[in-house]
């Protein structure tokens, strides 16, 4: 226990002793987090809006003031058959906005029980084009559905775009990961170089390799953790700002950075990569 306390004490001494390098590293970690958050997660956001996966497929049904049980039944059948996760019901005005933005498919439902209302459904493009086309086919063959507005060309373009986005997002992530590793290594190499005398003294007085290395690794992990937290707050602030600016006609762009699993993944990476970098660099201390 006292050994651990002494290591933590050494962590603190190191932070004070190398404050300039650590400060630079800390600011960099925050910037990387925010930049990756905006680029990486915005891309996920686009993906979610435009090309949701089959288990996230959404059908949006609109109708007038009154509820329509027969339509709800029909949509529910689709929901179960194609494992549609979410069924959203909008008012006609909201539906119009969503229809024009998020989907290449428009469906006109013919309600035989109440011909006053027409119904519109939006199906988000699934990752499986074959399955998607099967849904279209089935919808078209349903006698209750008056029309399926389906732009095949658009579907193909968006499908290709999805692949491009996949590569872009992976590339963005890999570039940031590489930069993060590079900066971590350079920072800790600089710290070790400026601490050469101190390190030699530590060796002379009988410090174990763990006692010498752990403060660097603990500091990198701690800074990564705090940087992720601050980065998260900054992302939230940016999101609020962008929402106010962009979630207005004619853009209606809905910015959402906070997909739980992605944020956790990004935070873990922001902590883990500096740890790996510092671990690797300090391995060479002898």
Partner 1 sequence: MEQISKNRIMERSSIIIVKNLTHYFDTRPLFKNTSFEIEKGSFVFLIGDTGSGKSTLLKILHGEIPPTAGILDIDGFVIGKKKRHDLYKLRRKVAIIYQDFFLIEEISVEENIILPLKCLGIRKQEQKKRLEIVLNILDLSKIKKERCSKLSGGEKQRVAIGRTIITNPSIILADEPTGSLDAKLTMRLMKIFRKLNDHGTTIILATHNLELPKMIKNSQVLKLQNHRLEYVKHELST
CB closer to partner 1 out of 17 and 229: 17
The single residue listed with the structure tokens 């962008």 is 242
Report in angstroms how near the CB of residue 277 gets to partner 1 at its nearest.
Answer: 21
Pairwise CA distance, residues 284 & 286, whole Å: 6
CB closer to partner 1 out of 94 and 196: 196
Report in angstroms how near the CB of residue 6 gets to partner 1 at its nearest.
Answer: 4
**Could you tell me the two tokens for 195?**
């601490």
Q: Please, is 272 exposed, middle or buried when counting C-beta atoms within 10 Å of its C-beta (0-12, 13-18, 19+)?
A: middle
Q: In this structure, are strands 105-110 and 118-123 parallel, antiparallel, or unpaired?
A: antiparallel
CB closer to partner 1 out of 136 and 202: 202
Report in angstroms how near the CB of residue 189 gets to partner 1 at its nearest.
Answer: 20
Site residues (CB under 8 A) for partner 1?
2-3, 5-6, 9-10, 13, 17, 197-198, 200-209, 211, 286
CB closer to partner 1 out of 211 and 259: 211
Report in angstroms how near the CB of residue 225 gets to partner 1 at its nearest.
Answer: 24
Query: Cβ(120)–Cβ(149) under 8 Å?
Result: no
**Could you tell me the two tokens for 185?**
């290594």
Report in angstroms how near the CB of residue 236 gets to partner 1 at its nearest.
Answer: 40
Sign of CA dihedral 179, 181, 182, 184: positive
Task: Indicate the helix (H) or strand (E) that contains 58.
Answer: strand 58-62
CB closer to partner 1 out of 53 and 198: 198
In sequence order, what are the beta bridge partners of 147? 108
């Amino acid at each position: 226990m006292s050994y651990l306390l002494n290591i933590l004490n050494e962590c603190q001494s190191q932070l004070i002793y190398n404050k300039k390098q650590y400060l630079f590293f800390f600011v960099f970690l925050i910037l990387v987090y925010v930049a990756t958050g905006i680029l990486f997660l915005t891309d996920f956001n686009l993906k979610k809006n435009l090309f949701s996966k089959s288990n996230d497929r959404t059908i949006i049904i609109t109708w007038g003031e009154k509820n329509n049980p027969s339509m709800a039944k029909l949509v529910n059948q689709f929901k179960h058959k194609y494992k549609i996760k979410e069924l959203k019901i909008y008012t006609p005005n909201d539906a119009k906005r969503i229809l024009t933005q998020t989907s290449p498919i428009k469906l006109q439902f013919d309600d035989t029980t109440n011909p006053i209302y027409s119904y519109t459904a939006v199906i988000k493009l699934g990752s499986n084009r074959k399955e998607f086309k099967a849904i279209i086919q089935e919808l078209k063959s349903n006698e209750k559905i008056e029309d399926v507005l389906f732009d095949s060309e658009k579907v193909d373009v968006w499908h290709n775009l999805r692949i491009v986005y996949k590569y872009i997002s992976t590339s963005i992530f890999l570039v940031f990961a590489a930069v993060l590793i590079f900066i971590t290594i350079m920072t800790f190499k600089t710290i070790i170089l400026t601490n050469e005398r101190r390190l030699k003294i530590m060796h002379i007085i009988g410090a174990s390799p763990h006692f010498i290395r752990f403060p660097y690794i603990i500091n990198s992990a701690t800074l990564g953790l705090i940087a992720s937290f601050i980065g998260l707050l900054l992302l939230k602030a940016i999101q609020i700002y962008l929402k106010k600016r962009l979630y207005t006609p004619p853009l209606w762009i809905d910015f959402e950075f906070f997909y739980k699993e992605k944020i956790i993944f990004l935070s873990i990476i922001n902590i883990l990569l500096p740890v790996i970098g510092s671990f690797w660099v300090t391995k060479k201390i002898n």
